Amino acid sequence: MSTPHISAKKGEIAESILLPGDPLRAKFIAENFLENVTQYNTIRNMLGFTGEYKGKRVSVQGTGMGMPSMGIYSYELIHFYGCKNLIRVGTAGALLESVKVGSIVFAQAACTDSNYASQFEMPGTLAAIASYNLLEAGVNEAKKRELSYHVGNVVSADVFYNAAGTALKWPKMGVLAVEMEAAALYMNALYANVNALCLATISDSVVTGESTSPEVREKMFTDMMEIALTIA
């Protein structure tokens, strides 16, 4: 059983899966955290792996950038491969000064400027929210590890280089950070009645202009990855 984007056979993908945007981050997670690893996907170089974390079977799949790409991969993983717990592990830009670079944001909900929700033909505005059981477990794990974290709203933007600078309007409503995938993941999960959560490490700040190098980011992400693997 394969799709246009995933070449896995039935049963090769676990019910619990981590979803980094970068396929090389998926490879990093598989090589550094999982045991008994098998690679099930190389289509479009969007790498996918299944292994064991502390005896628990878990998969990790790169999803690319933006809501259209996340929409495709999460839909196929849910509807064709039976994934029940989908956890995005990615990066975000802080929109509030109190959200520091290196901290972790748990996206309780995801606003968006995308038209993604129109496909569901709802008679109003759909609230794209996380699954509480995963959110609670993730926050408890962050507390246990004494990590710097925030819980709240993020915005999933359709445009990275925004000519109008509209991202700066979201902080007025208390939105913590901007990223590009969570809303699509949450909507797909809500539609299919499965669990989803987005964890994002703050890699830069729209407010202060602070940013990190790719090398530093890779080291910072370790805590986020371990939380996601623990609760998956």
- Kindly name the residue from 22, 113, 158, 204 that is annotated as catalytic: 204
Q: How far is CA 12 from CA 37, 57, 64, in A?
A: 11, 10, 21
Q: Which two tokens stand for residue 96?
A: 């509030």
CB atoms near residue 151 (< 10 Å):
16
Q: Is 22 a catalytic residue?
A: no
Would you give the DSSP letter of residue 207? T
Q: Which residues neighbour 161 within 8 Å (Cβ) at sequence distance 6 or greater? A: none
Q: Tell me if 50 sits within 8 A of 38, measured CB to CB.
A: yes
Instruction: Give the catalytic positions in this structure.
Output: 204
